[in-house]
Structure 1
Amino acid sequence: MTIKEVMEECKLLYLAWTETTSILLTWTMIVLSMHPEWQDRAREEVISLFGKNKLEYEGVNRLKTVTTILYEVLRLYSPAGGFIRKTYKEMKIGDITYPVGVLIELPVFQMNHDPHIWGSDVHEFKPERFANGISKASKYPGAFLPFSWGPRICISQQFAMLEGKMALCMILQCFEFELASSYTHAVDNSRVMRPTHGAQINLTAI
């Protein structure tokens, strides 16, 4: 790799480690404010594992409710609305043959909201759909692609999920939260999926 390519990779990693994870946490707090029963369930799991103490890596890996919540938020509000790949050789996908140099877009947002893939409750927040793992959450095992897939899968996937879990756990340990009356629910999907008018959330220390 050239120095320029290394620099571009570092920029991409920085973006993946900061902006996308912060957006995931923002949407998670919004959704858990809308569904306080899931906020309570997540907090109970965190307190049962850690109390108010410092988090431990082994305990974070045992989180089930928190993990399913983050997966469901990624499905509903995936920071990346889609991925574009370019064919480097002639290839066939289904019944269509693509020549070299064709750009193919994977419409993640549309896939995540397709009732043919996720069922008639596709627009509902239901973390339990991931209770038996990602592969059994939808009608098609490979349908959940918040980090892309294959050799070009996001190399920050594990780090992003670990960071998201730890941050959410620390928030749940210290605060209860609810949406402020000024919050207006709207989605801006122009670059990465973010709340159009921000996230006005009231936090109460516990």
Structure 2
Amino acid sequence: MILNETLRLYPPAVATIRRAEADVELGGYHIPQGTELLIPIMGVHHDAGLWGTDVAEFNPTRFADGASRAARHPTAFVPFGLGARMCIGQNLAVLEAKLTIAILLQRLAFRLSPSYVHAPTVLMLLHPQYGAPILFRSLPPPSHPS
């Protein structure tokens, strides 16, 4: 739930482009075949109409019933895209993130530095404008029962 909420607020790609493979009517608009459409992932993930009034808040419990039920539309959560053009590395990225988080939490305590300024910015990808200084402290090794 925490990883999904993080990906909702800070998706790896802020937008994606798709090309209409055939003429289609979409929301009352005619989209001719070959038209390129920009899908604003960041905009979808921050739409209060889909996610509720707490859209800007970090709320992992919104994913308690799964990603397809987290929003008012089952495909509103698209950090890696959807369908045939979905990111091929999605499963590996999620697995690596979960393993890394688990290892870090076993060995380290951490907190944001007092110098941290929350300023997400877009330069091709979403990233912290001033970095994300984190203070780490080693945890004692776990004691093993004798």
CA-based RMSD of the aligned residues comes to 1.0
TM-aligned CA deviation for residue 95 of structure 1: 2.0
TM-score by structure 2 length? Answer: 0.91
In the alignment, structure 1 residue 146 sits paired with structure 2 residue 84: no
Equivalent in the alignment of 1:162: 95
Counterparts of 2:64 and 2:95, CA distance in 1: 18
Between the aligned partners of 2:85 and 2:40, the Cα distance in structure 1 is 16
Distance across 1 between alignment mates of 2:24 and 2:54: 35
CA contact (8 A) 2:18 2:36 kept: yes
- Give the 3-state SS of the residue equivalent to 2:123 in structure 1: coil
Work out which of the residue numbers 194, 197, 200 in structure 1 matches 2:127: 194
In structure 1, the residue matched to 2:37 is 104
Specify which structure has the bigger relative contact order, considering alpha-carbon pairs within 8 angstroms and separated by 6 or more residues: 1
- Note the C-alpha offset of 1:111: 1.0
State whether structure 2 residue 55 is matched by structure 1 residue 122.
Answer: yes
* 1:70 matched to 2:9: no
Higher helix share: 1
TM-score (norm 1): 0.65
Select the residue among 8, 12, 15 that pairs with 1:82: 15
Structure 2: which amino acid aligns with 1:101? G
Alignment length (residue pairs): 139
Distance in 2 (CA, whole Å) between partners of 1:103 and 1:144 is 21
> How far, CA to CA, are the matches of 1:156 and 1:130 in structure 2?
22
Which secondary structure does the structure 2 equivalent of 1:132 belong to?
coil
Q: Which has the higher strand share?
A: 2
- Are 1:134 and 2:63 counterparts? no
Aligned partner of residue 25 in structure 2, secondary structure: strand
Identical pairs, percent: 40
- Distance in 2, matches of 1:112 and 1:102, equals 24
- Cα offset, 1:93, TM superposition: 2.2
Deviations 1:81-135 (A, max 9, x none): 0111112332232322211221101111111111110001111111011011011
Describe the SS at the equivalent of 1:125: coil
**How big is the shift at 1:177?**
0.4
> Residue 189 of structure 1: CA displacement?
1.0
Q: Which runs of 5+ in 1 are unaligned?
A: 1-67
